[in-house]
Chains A and B, each alone.
Chain A
Amino acid sequence: EPEVTQTPSHQVTQMGQEVILRCVPISNHLYFYWYRQILGQKVEFLVSFYNNEISEKSEIFDDQFSVERPDGSNFTLKIRSTKLEDSAMYFCASSERVFTDTQYFGPGTRLTVL
C-alpha cells in the first residue's frame, strides 16, 4: 500500500538555523499538507498546497515558514530561522481531493531546536 514518507525522522538544530523537512506524498495525490504537534498539545494544521500554490495556511504559518514542491515527488517545509518554540513533531499528509477525501499521514519528523 502506498505511503507518505518523511525524512529525516529526527532533526536537531540550533536556534536561528534554517531547516528543511522533506516529504514524499503518495504518487497520485494532488493535495499536500503540513501539520505539527508540539509535545503534549493538539495536532495543528500549518498549510495546504495544491497546483504549486498555497491554498490555505494557518496563523502559525508565518513568514518564517515556506513550502515548495521542487520536483515531481518531493514536498518540503522550510523554517528559515528556527526558534525554541518550533520544536515539535511535523507531519506531512497528502490526499487525492479536498474536503471529501482522506488525508494520509507520514511518520513525522521530530524537530528539536536547542
Chain B
Amino acid sequence: AQSVSQHNHHVILSEAASLELGCNYSYGGTVNLFWYVQYPGQHLQLLLKYFSGDPLVKGIKGFEAEFIKSKFSFNLRKPSVQWSDTAEYFCAVITNNAGNMLTFGGGTRLMVKP
C-alpha cells in the first residue's frame, strides 16, 4: 500500500524566511500529488496539485512544489513566508491503483513569527 511521509512535524520560521517542507511517497506507478493547508480553525484547502506536465507547479499565495519522480518527492516551497502562512500543511497522493482514495502524510505545523 502507498504511504506518504512528511519529515518535518513542526517548523518555526521568522517572517521573510524561505520555506521548504518535505514530502515523500512510496508508490512506483502513476500518482497525482496534492498539498493541502489547514489554517487555524478552518477546513482543509487545496494549495496546489500535480497531475502531469511541468513538474514545477505553482499554487495559491506564492507557494510552489516540485515533483521529482526519481526521488518520489513533492516538496513544498515558498521563498518568503508571512505570519499569515501559519497553518498545518498536508501532503497527499492518489495512485492509479487506489481509485479515489487520498493518502495523507502526517502534516507539518508551520509557525511564522512576526
| Given A98-B99, A99-B94, A99-B99, A42:B32 Cβ within 8 A | no
Q: Is the CB of A45 within 8 A of B102?
A: yes
A39 to chain B, nearest CB (A): 12
How many residues of B are in contact with the other chain, CB < 8 A?
24
Chain A nearest CB from B32 CB (Å) reads: 6
Nearest A-chain residue to B42, judged by Cβ:
A107
Beyond A43-B90, A99-B32, A100-B51, is A56–B46 a contact (Cβ under 8 Å)? no
Q: Which residues of B contact A91 (CB under 8 A)?
A: 43-44
- Do A103 and B102 touch (CB < 8 A)? yes
- With A42-B107, A99-B32, A102-B49 already in contact, the answer to whether A107 and B100 are too (CB < 8 A) is no
- A-binding residues in B (CB < 8 A): 32, 34, 36, 42-46, 49, 51, 90, 92, 94, 96, 98-107
